[in-house]
């Protein structure tokens, strides 16, 4: 836990708990929201090829997760941490030209 706190630049256990709670809420919420989005565009598990469905589900869940992560992080008072986390994630995924540079 201490290595993670150092890596993320966190000093208190309270902040660490809040961050882990935000990650838990975000993952569950993104998975929950992505299914109705796929259904609304006409794709459901019963009528769509399973390979196509799951590939589209994963492709959809990635941007949904990032948006929800920043929103929930902001609600819990950790906007800066999660904004930087998402920008770093986007750079690692190859979208570095679309995100602002580190200061």
Question: pLDDT per residue over 12-21, tens digit each?
Answer: 999 999 999 9
* Nearest C-alpha neighbor of 64 from the set 24, 28, 95: 28
Tell me if 23 is assigned to some domain.
Answer: no
* Nearest C-alpha neighbor of 38 from the set 24, 50, 21: 50
**Looking at residue 35, what is its pLDDT?**
87
Tell me if 3 is assigned to some domain.
Answer: no
**Looking at residue 89, what is its pLDDT?**
87
| Domain total in the chain | 1
Condensed to tens digits (0 to 9), the pLDDT of residues 27-67 reads 999 989 988 988 898 888 888 899 999 999 998 898 899 99
Q: Are 87 and 100 in contact (CB under 8 A)?
A: yes
Reduced to 3 states (helix: H, G, I; strand: E, B; else coil), residue 43 is coil
Tell me if 13 is assigned to some domain.
Answer: no
Q: Are 15 and 6 in contact (CB under 8 A)?
A: no
Q: How far is CA 7 from CA 16, 18, 39, 64, in A?
A: 12, 16, 39, 25
Structure tokens at 84: 């930087």
Q: Considering only residues 100 and 8, tell me which one the structure prediction assigns the higher pLDDT.
A: 8
What is the span of the domain harbouring residue 54?
A: 31-94
Tell me if 78 is assigned to some domain.
Answer: yes
**Looking at residue 30, what is its pLDDT?**
92
Tell me if 82 is assigned to some domain.
Answer: yes
Tell me if 43 is assigned to some domain.
Answer: yes
Tell me if 8 is assigned to some domain.
Answer: no
Tell me if 68 is assigned to some domain.
Answer: yes
**Looking at residue 103, what is its pLDDT?**
56
């Amino acid at each position: 836990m201490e290595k993670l706190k150092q890596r993320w630049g966190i000093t208190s256990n309270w902040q660490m708990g809040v961050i882990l709670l935000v990650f838990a809420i975000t993952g569950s919420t993104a998975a929950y929201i992505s299914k109705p989005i796929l259904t609304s565009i006409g794709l459901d598990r019963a009528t769509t090829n399973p390979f196509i469905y799951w590939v589209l589900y994963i492709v959809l869940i990635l941007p949904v997760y990032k948006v929800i992560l920043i929103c929930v992080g902001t609600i819990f008072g950790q906007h800066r941490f999660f904004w930087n986390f998402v920008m770093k994630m986007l750079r690692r995924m190859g979208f570095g030209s679309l995100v602002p540079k580190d200061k």
